[in-house]
Amino acid sequence: MPYLFTSESVSEGHPDKVADQISDTLLDNFLAFDPESKVACETLVTTGQVVLAGEVKSDTYLDVQTIARDVINDIGYTKGAYKFSGDSCGVISLIHEQSQDINQGVDRGSKEEQGAGDQGMMFGYATKETENYMPLALDISHKILIELAKLRREGTEITYLRPDSKSQVTIEYSDDNVPQRIVSIVVSTQHDDFDGDDQKMLAKIKKDIIEILIPRVKSQLPEYVQNLFNDDIEYHINPTGKFVIGGPHGDTGLTGRKIIVDTYGGKGAHGGGAFSGKDPSKVDRSAAYAARHIAKNLVAAGVADEILVQVSYAIGVVKPTSLLIETYGSKHVDFTNGEIAQKVFEIFDMRPAAIEERLGLRNPIYRETSAYGHFGKEPRKETKVFESPYNGKITREVELFTWEKLDKVDEVKEAFGL
C-alpha cells in the first residue's frame, strides 16, 4: 500500500537559524585568524536581544558584538518594525575559556593522535532518489525557502515578504519506495502588515506563492521531479492566518534546535548532536560530515541505492568505537553489511584528525552550512575576507562542502569490484 513521507525546512530568518548563523560566523572568524581554535559557541536571540555563550580556546580575539550584528543585518532584520534589528539589538557576550579537563583529552603530542572531542554516535545518509543524493521531500522544502528568500531580496514580484518562513512537503511513495506524487505543500511566510481585509491579504499571499514561487522552484528541478507536481496538490499557505510578528520577536531562537532540518529531514537517523558553533574537534560535526561523505560515495559508486552510516566515539579516544552500514535491502554487491563496513574502515580513515585533514575542516567554511541544510549542496571554492579591529584584515581561499565531493568513487568501485 502506498505511504506518505514528510520533511520540513526553515528559512535563514527563522529565529533558530538566526542563532545558528551567528554561532557559525563566530566560528569562522576564530578559525580564520587561528585555525587551531577550539570553539563551542551558543547563541540565543529574542526581542531586541542577542546572548552569546560558550567555550573558546584561541590565540585570537574578536569583536563578537559587531560580527553578530552584521549577520543579523545580512539575513534581513534591518527595520524597527521587525522588533529585532542588527543595528539596534543588544548583544551580550558570556563566552569563556574551554575547560582544561576537556582539552587534555583532545590535544595530544601529535596531531594524528587527537582524541574525539566528545562521546556519541553520528549518522550519514545518502539515497539515489535525487541528483544530490538527498531525500526528495527535504530537497524540495529547502529549495522552496531558498527561492522565497531570493524573491524577498529582489523585492519586485513579491514586495511584502519578511525574513522568517517555513516550508513542508509531503510525498506519496509506492510500495517499492518510488516517489509517485506530491500530496501537499505547506508554506508559512512572515509578511508586512496589510492595511485592510485580512482575507484579501491571505488570498494575495496564497496566489503569489502558488503562481510565482512554486513555478520558479519547479523550473529548477529535473523532469522526473517536475512530474510529481500535479493539480491535486493541497496547499496550506499561512494556514494560521496573519503572520506579521515573527523572527526573534515572535519566538526565541537557540543554536542547535533544527538538527533534522540540518540533516536528512527525518530519513535515515540522527545521533542527537547539533552542528553549528562547533569546531571540527567536536565529532558531533566532523564525524557526521565524514559519514555523509562515506554514504554519498558508496551510493554513487553503486554499492547500494540507499545507505545509512553510523559511527561512534568515546571522548579522548582516537579510533571510533564502532561503524555500522545499513543498506535497507538495496545493495548491489555480494557483501554483507558488516563486510561493507570493514571495507569502509579500510578506505576512510575515521580518526578525528584524519577527518579534519581529509575534508579541510580547519578552514572558515561554516557560515554557508548554517541555513538550508548542511548536506546536498555543491562543493565550491570561494574567497572570503575577514576583518578584525584586533587582527587586521585577511583573505582566505576556502573549499566549501568538501564532504559532498565524489572523490572516493573510483576507490570504492575497486574495493567492491564494481
Please report, in range form, the residues annotated as the binding site for K(+). 42
- CB distance 306 to 126 below 8 Å: yes
Look up residue 306 and give its amino acid: E
Q: What is the DSSP letter of 212?
A: I
Q: Which residue, among 157, 128, 130, has the nearest Cα to 143 in the 3D structure?
A: 130
**How far is Cα 171 from Cα 181, in angstroms, rounded to an integer?**
6
Q: Which residues are annotated as a binding site for Mg(2+)?
A: 16
Strands 90-97 and 49-57: parallel
- b/e per residue 144-172 (b: at least 16 CB within 10 A): bbbbbbebbeeeeebebbbbbbbbbbbbb
Q: Which residue, among 275, 272, 283, has the nearest Cα to 316 in the 3D structure?
A: 283
Q: Which residues are annotated as a binding site for L-methionine?
A: 55, 98, 251, 282
**How far is Cα 49 from Cα 90, in angstroms, rounded to an integer?**
5
- The length of the chain in residues reads 418
Residue 95: all three cell numbers together? 563566552
Q: Exposed/middle/buried for 405, CB within 10 Å: 0-12, 13-18, 19+?
A: middle
Calculate the CA 102 to chain-centre distance: 26
Residue 120 CA: distances (Å) to CA of 81, 288, 354:
43, 11, 18
- CB distance 151 to 212 below 8 Å: yes
**How far is Cα 228 from Cα 139, in angstroms, rounded to an integer?**
14
Q: Which residues pair with 6 in a beta bridge?
A: 170
**How far is Cα 364 from Cα 196, in angstroms, rounded to an integer?**
47
Q: Which residues are annotated as a binding site?
A: 14, 16, 42, 55, 98, 164-166, 242-243, 251, 257-258, 274, 278, 282
Q: Exposed/middle/buried for 284, CB within 10 Å: 0-12, 13-18, 19+?
A: buried
Q: Which residues are annotated as a binding site for ATP?
A: 14, 164-166, 242-243, 251, 257-258, 274, 278
Q: Which residue has the cell 557559525?
A: 24
